[in-house]
Structure 1
């Protein structure tokens, strides 16, 4: 894949493109595919908000990690700024994504 060759602008695939491709390959109407894709995304978001791990075999794992509170610095004025603890989403690629 030449996505990163010569610092070319990265190619994008949007949700619409995924819906279109699934529709073309399965023959299912785009409106139906769009609802299914959106429902899947909603479930992923809800699951992560509930601090639950999502394992999609061979694709990867979405997980929630707790970041400790720390002290940061505003680079414009040099002022010390406390950064509170927070949860972040992390993704660990599975076997099919590791060697792209």
Structure 2
């Protein structure tokens, strides 16, 4: 499912226009992104939790030259599914 298909599904389930569904989805995405940038978690009870994971610095190889390189530490977005979502699958 891509974004436009998700907007169609939201509009159908909530009985609202596609434009309103698109605004709502964009608002959710911005809110989750801003919250994660601030280092906080976003928990949707029954669905899951979005959180920021820390990835340590590690060594890797340049596939073109084969030389060893250092991959810097990074913060990455992660998702942990909630019980209701797991049970639905």
What is the TM-score with the length of structure 2 in the denominator?
A: 0.88
TM-score (norm 1): 0.79
Query: What is the CA deviation profile of residues 3-58 of structure 1, one whole-angstrom value per residue up to 9, with x for unaligned ones?
Result: xxxxxxxxxx1121121122223321111111111111111111111111111111
State the SS of the aligned residue for 1:75. coil
Structure 1 equivalent of residue 20 of structure 2: 32
Indicate yes or no: 2:59 matched with 1:57: no
Q: Which residue of 1 aligns with 2:6?
A: 18
What CA distance in whole angstroms lies between the structure 2 residues aligned with 1:51 and 1:26? 31
Measured in 2, the distance between the counterparts of 1:63 and 1:24 equals 29
**RMSD of equivalent CA atoms:** 1.3
Structure 2 unpaired stretches of 5+: none
Q: Does 1:85 align with 2:73?
A: yes
